Structure 1
Amino acid sequence: MEISSSGRLEVRITAADVGKRVSVRRLSDDGDTGEKFTDTVGVLTSWDNGVLLITRRTGERVRIAESSLVAGKVVPAAPARRRGPAASYEELARVSARAWRPVESERLGGWELRAASGFTRRANSVLPLGDPGMPLDDALAYASAWYAARDLPAYVQTATGAEGTQELLCADLEERGWVREVTAGLWIGSLAPIGDRDAPGVTLSRTADDAWLGRYQRKGLGEVALKVLGSGPSVWFATVPDEEGEAPAAIGRCVVDGRWAGFAAVEVGPAHRRRGLGTAVMAALARRALDEGASAAWLQVEDDNAAARALYTGMGFAPHHSYHHYRRAADAGAAGHGFGAAEPYRSA
């Protein structure tokens, strides 16, 4: 907290600091006999009518009464990373977008409108990486009409928690009634330690064959889904066969793009879990990516997938930022368009 020369805490932020990352301390009453301090760190997204709204790294918005402030200051936009590759949000957003291409897209200034007949939200949402070239309300109206013409709900993919992410846009969407449906994390790590692990019995292919698709969690795949799965600069599919000839014991997908290797669809059959097959799949894919010149790795994992988060932490991955999908409130029928809980990044 900011301390004056007299040793007292001071509030050194104002409404002019909206859009900056801040750290504030406030008085709160938890029902006990005395008051206590509560600290909040995040992006100051608004300060109106005596109320501050601060968006935390996870996208959670915290309302704080101005009258409860004890101290506050502007802090660096993102904490320094202690391990793993350095990366900006925009770099990772563009790399991850190239690894999961839609079948159809259109530019709207710095926005990209993406559609793939409803196969996953990421391939059927707006990716806003700049100014749309028109007022926000007009851009949202254009995007909504664009998706409606394709019989799809309108989604906007946003991010929070790193320098250059979109806390202000998240706040603007929520003020306009858009609903956040899904939050997941994008994690990064060094590639070489992953490739150093054992990878027995893993075969690699450039295409997702019938066996691979037999393990993939999304069923009823059509031509559009196959195009999305096969999209990316350099795509590899990994398979661990089942000894009894059933669906593969484990599968995975990796897209190599310059220095980055993106892992996805790492899935292990229920009868084959806790045998290290998820790690083996990633190790085999990592070795191929290293051969192609990659040095860093990224993946996306749902917040509620404890098993995957534990696996990735043990492999040296760490969270970089959170990403969210906002749905236009009028599109109440989104569930009918084949969207699952989040993205096809499950592991065990």
Structure 2
Amino acid sequence: MEISASGRLEVRITAADVGKRVSVRRMIKDVAEGEKFTDTVGVLTSWDKGVLLITRRTGEMVQIAESSLVAGKVVPAAPARRRGPAASYEELARVAARAWRPGESERLGAWELRAASGFTRRANSVLPLGDPGVPLDEALTYVRGWYAARGLPAYIQTATGAEGAQELLCAELEARGWTREVTAELWIGSLAPIGDLEVSDAPIGDLEVSDAPAGDRKAPEVVLSREADDAWLGRYQRKGLSDVALRVLGSGPSVWFATVPGAEGEPPAAIGRCVVDGRWAGFAAVEVDPARRRQGLATAVMAALARRALDEGASAAWLQVEEENTEARAMYAGMGFGPHHAYHHYRWIPGSGAADGGSGVGDPYRSV
């Protein structure tokens, strides 16, 4: 906290610091403990009518009464992550977008409107990397109309927790009645350690690790292919995919699909997908037959894909994981991944805000 020459705490932030990362201390009243201090660090998103709104890295928004402030100051951007390569939010957002291309897209200033017949929110949402070139309300009206014309709900994908992310836009969307439906995180890590993994030394906490002695774990066969064949699709969690969805799955600079064959006549025991893009390898769709879990299959799939990506010159890895997927998070942490930023999908629900619009269609999505 900011301390003056006299040794007293001081509030050294004002409304002019909106958009900056701040650290504040406030006094709150606790029924059990009486008055106590609590600290909040995040982006100062607004300061209006005596109330501060601070957005934490996770996207959580905290309202703080100005009258409760004890100290406050502007602080530097969050330090570099302890795990994985250095990377900016914009770099990762563009890499992730290239790995999951929509069937159709249109530019609105620096915003990209994306549609893919409802296959995943990522391919059917706005990626707002910069200024839309028109006032925000005008941009949102255009977005609602664009998705309505395609029979889709309007979504905007935002991010928090990294320098250059969109805490201010999140607050503006919520003020206008947009609803946050999904929050996930993008994690990064070094690629070489993943390629070096074997079933016998899969990371502690890996939900796929067998209880059998290390020497008894046999590496499964992993087949790599440039296309998602019928066998791979037989294990993929989404069934009855349209041609548009198949094109999304196959999109990206250099796409690889991994398959661990199952028993004869059965879907694969495990699958995975990787997109190589320069120094980055992005992992997705790592799925294992529930009856074959705790056998190291997810580890084997990711290791095989990582080795292929290393051969193509990649050195860093990324993936996306939902907040509630605790088992996957433990596995990825054991592989050396760590969170870089959180991302969110905001949906316009007709009648929910000051300005109406949109398609009113149901939610066709089952994943981020």
Give the CA deviation at 1:246: 1.2
Q: Stretches of 4+ moved more than 4 A in 1?
A: 331-334
Alignment equivalent of 1:315, drawn from 307, 325, 335:
335
One-letter code aligned to 1:77: A
Alignment equivalent of 1:294, drawn from 314, 333, 338:
314
Q: In structure 1, what is the equivalent of residue 141 of structure 2?
A: 141
Q: In structure 1, what is the equivalent of residue 163 of structure 2?
A: 163
Give the CA deviation at 1:77: 1.8
Matches within 5 A, 1:101-250: 101-198=101-198, 200-250=220-270
Q: In structure 2, what is the equivalent of residue 264 of structure 1?
A: 284
Instruction: Name which of structure 1's ranges 25-34 and 157-166 shifts more when overlaid on structure 2.
Output: 25-34
Paired with 2:269 and 2:94, the residues of 1 have a C-alpha distance of: 32
- SS, match of residue 35 in structure 1: strand
- SS, match of residue 34 in structure 2: coil
Paired with 1:34 and 1:143, the residues of 2 have a C-alpha distance of: 48
Q: In structure 1, what is the equivalent of residue 348 of structure 2?
A: 328
Q: In structure 1, what is the equivalent of residue 214 of structure 2?
A: none
Q: In structure 1, what is the equivalent of residue 364 of structure 2?
A: 338
Give the CA deviation at 1:245: 3.6
- SS, match of residue 133 in structure 1: coil
Q: In structure 1, what is the equivalent of residue 96 of structure 2?
A: 96
Paired with 2:38 and 2:256, the residues of 1 have a C-alpha distance of: 47
How many residues are matched?
341
Give the CA deviation at 1:338: 2.2
Deviations 1:129-162 (A, max 9, x none): 1111100000111111111110001100000000
Deviations 1:85-127 (A, max 9, x none): 0000000000000000000000111000000000000000000
Give the CA deviation at 1:62: 0.3
Paired with 1:177 and 1:13, the residues of 2 have a C-alpha distance of: 28
Deviations 1:240-293 (A, max 9, x none): 111354111110000000000000000111101111111110000000000000
Give the CA deviation at 1:33: 4.3
The answer to whether structure 1 residue 306 and structure 2 residue 355 are counterparts is: no
Give the CA deviation at 1:80: 2.5
Matches within 5 A, 1:32-47: 32-47=32-47
Instruction: Provide TM-score, normalisation by structure 2.
Output: 0.91
CA RMSD of aligned residues (A): 1.2
Paired with 1:291 and 1:122, the residues of 2 have a C-alpha distance of: 28
Give the CA deviation at 1:2: 1.0
Instruction: Name which of structure 1's ranges 252-261 and 23-32 shifts more when overlaid on structure 2.
Output: 23-32
Instruction: Name which of structure 1's ranges 11-20 and 241-250 shifts more when overlaid on structure 2.
Output: 241-250
Paired with 2:176 and 2:363, the residues of 1 have a C-alpha distance of: 23
Give the CA deviation at 1:7: 1.5
Instruction: Provide TM-score, normalisation by structure 1.
Output: 0.96
- SS, match of residue 153 in structure 1: coil
Paired with 1:34 and 1:21, the residues of 2 have a C-alpha distance of: 29
Give the CA deviation at 1:200: 3.2
- SS, match of residue 41 in structure 2: strand
Q: In structure 2, what is the equivalent of residue 14 of structure 1?
A: 14
State the percentage of identical aligned residues.
82
Would the aligned equivalents of 2:81 and 2:340 in 1 still touch at CA under 8 Å? Answer: no
Deviations 1:202-256 (A, max 9, x none): 1100000111101101112111110000000000000111135411111000000
Gaps of 5+ in 2: 199-218, 351-357
Would the aligned equivalents of 2:83 and 2:337 in 1 still touch at CA under 8 Å? Answer: no
